[in-house]
Amino acid sequence: MMMQEILGPRDKQVLEAVIIDYIRTGDPVGSRTVAKKYITDVSPATIRNVMADLEELNLLYRPHASAGRVPTSLGWRYYIDSILTINQLAKRDRERIKKAYEGSPKEIQTLLRATSRILSELSKQAAVVLLPKLSQTIFKRIQFVRVNQNQVLTIFIAESGIVQSFLVHIDEDISQDELNKYSRYLSESLKGLSLLEVKKRILKEMEEERILFDRLLRKAIELSKKALQVGLDETDIVIEGQTNLLNYPEFADVQQMKKLLATFEEKTKIIRLLDKCLSSEGVHIILGSEAEFQDVQDMSLISSTYSRGGDILGALGVIGPTRMDYSRIIPLVDYTAKLLSQIFEDE
């Protein structure tokens, strides 16, 4: 039998009251608190019985023998999927988000940093933004810049405005004039392909030795191949507001602080979580233990994708304690993602 069929209206009412109070206070919630603040027409004894039933269903648990109850991971999931009412984002918050983008250069990295900052400020949590994967972006132009006789800075510019640069080591000194010729040739011949397709084209032509007769093309291809090997599959991420989480009691002791900050240092885990959200549009909520934060179990992620022309570019989100105010942060993430997508579309 599904959980929706097991819980009656009173069960849902009590579960919601416990979770709302726990979000506000961070303390275990007793039956008297529920009766006094949320369900005033029912006795504490009746509510205590309902809470005991919810505990048997693994929706609530007691952290201490004499304490009130707090929601379990299953309780959080049921609340979010079946009970939570999501409010419209307040007008003042919508205006602040719009203002954060005003006057900013429309270069994609700048926009995404502004996104991370405003999400962190408004949510009072940590904000994360996953930049588009370089391999999936459509190639527009390449530029080679001589740094010294053994190094060349390779700059890839995508149609979406993404700019990525990689430092390439070379065996011979190449003049800037020669590098400019390489840039012009590759920009003209490979424009409109994804960078993954560019890499495949380069490898294919090198394998088939079609370019051996043309020194200019050979050098350009070799140089761009080295650059693509450096960082084609790397994904970058912008994180703001990690220290906001230190204001919550669950992260207040020294050991928890160390674990929390270490989690954000190891960006690959956060990137892996956001990658899961790229398969479909809309808001995704990954709770507590689902989030694979092994050292910090009491953190959750609310994320959404941003896109351009129907193509998902990346994801953005908010990371905070599991007792976040979901009714406010879900519309905050959703609105920001949609506005960012609209900005990309307009540009």
Count CA atoms within 13 Å of residue 222 on its CB side.
15
Task: Based on the fold, state whether residues 243 and 324 are members of the same structural domain.
Answer: yes
Task: Based on the fold, state whether residues 339 and 287 are members of the same structural domain.
Answer: yes
Task: Based on the fold, state whether residues 118 and 186 are members of the same structural domain.
Answer: no
> Which of 83, 103, 120 is at the close of a domain?
83
Give the Å distances, CA to CA, from 27 to 20, 49, 70, 215: 11, 20, 8, 72
**pLDDT given at position 67:** 77
Task: Based on the fold, state whether residues 123 and 69 are members of the same structural domain.
Answer: no
Task: Based on the fold, state whether residues 124 and 139 are members of the same structural domain.
Answer: no
Task: Based on the fold, state whether residues 164 and 227 are members of the same structural domain.
Answer: yes
**pLDDT given at position 260:** 78
Task: Based on the fold, state whether residues 258 and 127 are members of the same structural domain.
Answer: yes
**pLDDT given at position 323:** 92
Query: How far is Cα 332 from Cα 318, in angstroms, rounded to an integer?
Result: 9
Parallel, antiparallel, or unpaired: how do β-strands 151-158 and 70-71 relate? unpaired
* CATH code, domain with 185: 3.30.390.10
Task: Based on the fold, state whether residues 24 and 98 are members of the same structural domain.
Answer: no
**pLDDT given at position 217:** 58
Task: Based on the fold, state whether residues 249 and 323 are members of the same structural domain.
Answer: yes
| Count of domains observed in the chain | 3
Q: Is 87 exposed, middle or buried (0-12, 13-18, 19+ CB in 10 A)?
A: exposed
> Which of 185, 212, 231 is at the close of a domain?
231
Angle at 95 between CA 100 and CA 345, to 5 degrees: 65
**pLDDT given at position 212:** 45
**pLDDT given at position 203:** 65
**Domain containing 263: what range?**
91-132+235-346
Q: Which of 169, 248, 231 is closest to 196 using CA atoms? A: 231
* CATH code, domain with 22: 1.10.10.10
155 sits in which H/E element = strand 151-158
Task: Based on the fold, state whether residues 247 and 276 are members of the same structural domain.
Answer: yes
> Which of 50, 83, 116 is at the close of a domain?
83
Task: Based on the fold, state whether residues 103 and 143 are members of the same structural domain.
Answer: no
* CATH code, domain with 113: 3.30.450.40
Q: Are 159 and 138 within 8 A, CB to CB?
A: yes
| Neighbouring-strand partners of residue 166 | 154
pTM > 0.75: yes or no = yes
Q: Are 157 and 165 within 8 A, CB to CB?
A: no
Q: Are 33 and 26 within 8 A, CB to CB?
A: no
Averaged over successive runs of 10 residues, the pLDDT of the chain (347 residues) comes to 74 96 94 95 94 95 86 94 91 95 74 92 95 72 86 79 73 84 79 72 61 55 62 70 87 78 79 83 84 71 88 89 93 96 81
